[in-house]
Amino acid sequence: MVIFTGKVKNDLAGGINNAILIAVVRQKPGGDILATGSAHMAITDSAAPGQVLEYSLAVALPVQVDSASLETELVALGQLPK
C-alpha cells in the first residue's frame, strides 16, 4: 500500500466547494501503471483562495511489488461554486 499525505493550496481566484485527489502508482522503469486511487476532499462551505487543505489517500498495490521501484503522481483538482 502507498499512502499519500500532504497539503494542497487553493490557487484559484475564488473559493472552492468541491475537490478531488487522483493518485497514480507506476513501475520503474517503463512507467507501467500498477494502481490508481481517488478520493473526494471534504470541504465544509468553501475553501477560500490561498487556503491550505490537508489530505491522506491510501492506494492498494499488487502483492508482489518492490516499493523501491515505484514512481508516484498526485493531482488535486478543485471546483468553483456554480
CB of 24 closer than 8 Å to CB of 38:
no
> Is the whole-model pTM more than 0.75?
yes
Q: Which domain holds residue 62?
A: 2-79
Q: What is the reported pLDDT for 65?
A: 85
pLDDT higher than threshold 80 for residue 52: yes
Domain count, the chain: 1
Give the residue-averaged pLDDT of 71-76.
94
Give the C-alpha distances (Å, rounded to integers) separating 25 from 1, 5, 44, 68, 79.
Answer: 10, 14, 29, 12, 24
- CATH code of 60's domain: 2.60.40.10
- Which ranges in 10-52 belong to alpha helices (H)? none
Give the residue-averaged pLDDT of 12-32.
92
